[in-house]
């Protein structure tokens, strides 16, 4: 229910009001609200929330300086033809969470996921 301009303005105001001027992670979330249950969502109201918080380097400052250990995951990136795989959708994060868990449990810092053709597609925390 908001224009791109309104959403951008809201993000800037959120950073300013919370004095997040030294870098922050911004997470806009668009979701279907209560009103229509089931899989056919056409009449469900669209809701928006925006969060922001201080967040340094994703894999830590030491990772920036010394590098990180990366494991190629046994999990495959969700194909783009299956459930809008390119979208940063909440539903798509489970695959990345499982790949990250697998990598960390095996002693690595991050996971790389292959696509359905076998090519490296993305890291678990970065497109």
Per-block average pLDDT, block size 10, for the chain (127 residues)?
95 96 89 77 88 89 92 86 63 80 94 92 82
Question: Which domain CATH number covers 118?
Answer: 3.20.10.10
Specify whether 39 is located in the same domain as 77.
no
- How many other CB atoms are there within 10 angstroms of residue 50's CB atom? 15
Specify whether 25 is located in the same domain as 72.
no
Specify whether 102 is located in the same domain as 81.
yes
- 62 burial (CB, 10 Å; 0-12 / 13-18 / 19+) is exposed
Specify whether 84 is located in the same domain as 116.
yes
Specify whether 77 is located in the same domain as 30.
no
pLDDT score for 120? 92
Specify whether 33 is located in the same domain as 68.
no
Give CA–CA dist 110/42, Å, rounded. 38
pLDDT score for 6? 97
Select from 14, 34, 53 the last residue of a domain.
53
Specify whether 8 is located in the same domain as 47.
yes
pTM for the model: 0.65
pLDDT score for 86? 61
**Which structural domain range is residue 15 located in?**
4-53
Specify whether 65 is located in the same domain as 23.
no
Specify whether 42 is located in the same domain as 70.
no
Residue with tokens 């380097």: 57
pLDDT score for 96? 85
Number of domains making up the chain: 2
């Amino acid at each position: 229910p908001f224009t791109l301009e309104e959403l951008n303005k809201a993000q800037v105001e959120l950073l300013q009001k919370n004095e997040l001027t030294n870098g922050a992670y911004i997470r806009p979330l668009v979701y279907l609200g209560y009103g229509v249950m089931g899989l056919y969502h056409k009449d469900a109201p669209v809701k928006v929330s925006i969060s922001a918080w201080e967040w340094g380097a994703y894999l830590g400052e030491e990772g920036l300086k010394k590098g990180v250990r990366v494991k190629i995951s046994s999990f495959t990136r969700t194909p783009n033809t299956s459930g809008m795989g390119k979208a940063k959708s909440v539903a798509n994060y489970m695959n990345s969470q499982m790949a990250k868990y697998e990598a960390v449990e095996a002693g690595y810092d991050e996971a790389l996921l292959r696509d359905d053709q076998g090519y490296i597609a993305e890291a678990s925390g970065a497109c």
